[in-house]
Chain A
Amino acid sequence: MADTQTLVRQKTASKAEQAGLATRRAPLAGKQGGSATVILVPAEAASRISLRARAEDVGALSKGLGLALPVKPKTSATAGERTALWLGPDEWLVIDQSGADLVAVAASSGALHSATDVSHRNTAVIVSGPGAAAAINSGCPQDLALAVFPVGACSRTIFGKAEIVLWRMAEDKFRVECWRSFSEYVFGLLSEGAEDAAL
């Protein structure tokens, strides 16, 4: 964990950071929460891009990114440390846990696209345990039954008053991506939901 974080920090360190004048602090650093049936853990640092592309460029981009960009609603594709989440007909959120420079990777595909680095705009909470779906449903209207929202499913949706991107990593494990300025609110509401899920 520390290795990945150090790696990402080094790759994205600004000049001020390198000079020791400022240190980047993860928005949910040190947070912990959960209940008897839910575990809440701030996700490790990762690089992310908001990717937009037309249908005819998806093939080349997929080749460049090393995974097949999903084109079906609510689906994702994972290859190694990298995952692409379908957000809309021409929009994906690509997350790389190894901290790779995704903008450069996308550019190397040669296909026409728009990639915006949102590594530090977003942060994430990993929600796991038998009460994970119930905790998320305390503020999210999506049907999280396995038949409707299977493992690998993902969706941009709403959690309380905050917009999130929800991804089911395993039967009882979700990644909740949110904007960093909403992260305290999201973590707090998830903590409340976790308590309720254990009742």
Chain B
Amino acid sequence: MLLIYCPYCEEERSELEFRGAGDAHIVRPTNIADITDEEFEAFFFLRDNPKGLIFERWRHIHGCGRFFNAARDTVSDRFYKTYKAGEPKPELSAILPADSDKGASK
């Protein structure tokens, strides 16, 4: 069982209390009515699906109910860092441990 640190509850909780909610830091274009269909497709549908580090939204749905962001490794399922919604994307050097070549590299 994965333990995920909820930045609002300030402790690690079982994965059973959480639900994933897709990629984080996807910004909706401010001129949504003006963009082309291709640009809308890129914003709305296209995701990178990387092997290794990914930034995701998660929701502590059976806990405090809050959405937050997480930096996770898609290979090892390791959570490098979780942080509150609205906070900026953390610097890579601040998240990745020195021995992170396993799985986290592309």
Contact = CB atoms under 8 A, between A and B. Distances in A.
A158 B8 contact: no
Interface stretch (A59-67, A87-95, A106-114, A124-132): A87-95
Contacts, number: 41
A152 to B, nearest CB: 16
Contacts of A163: 62
Given A88-B8, A89-B8, A141-B1, A73 B64 contact: yes
A52 to B, nearest CB: 10
A138 interface: no
Interface residues of B, number: 14
Interface string B62-98: 1111100000000000000000000000000000000
Contacts of A91: 64-65
Given A157-B17, A158-B16, A158-B17, A88 B11 contact: no
Interface string B1-42: 100000011110110110000000000000000000000000
Contact of A73 (B1, B8, B17, B65): B8
Given A89-B64, A91-B64, A163-B62, A74 B9 contact: yes
Contacts of A157: 13, 17, 62-63
Contacts of A89: 8, 64, 66
A73 B10 contact: yes
Interface string A65-91: 000000001100000000000011101
B9 A73 contact: yes
Nearest to B12: A143
A157 B10 CA distance: 15
A76 B62 CA distance: 18
Given A73-B8, A89-B8, A156 B16 contact: no
A74 B16 CA distance: 17
A13 to B, nearest CB: 32
Given A74-B11, A141-B13, 12 more contacts: A73-B8, A73-B10, A73-B11, A73-B64, A74-B9, A87-B64, A88-B64, A89-B8, A141-B1, A141-B16, A141-B17, A163-B62
24 contacts: A73-B9, A73-B11, A73-B64, A74-B9, A74-B11, A87-B64, A88-B64, A88-B66, A89-B64, A89-B66, A91-B64, A141-B1, A141-B13, A141-B14, A141-B17, A155-B9, A155-B63, A156-B64, A156-B65, A157-B13, A158-B14, A158-B16, A158-B17, A163-B62
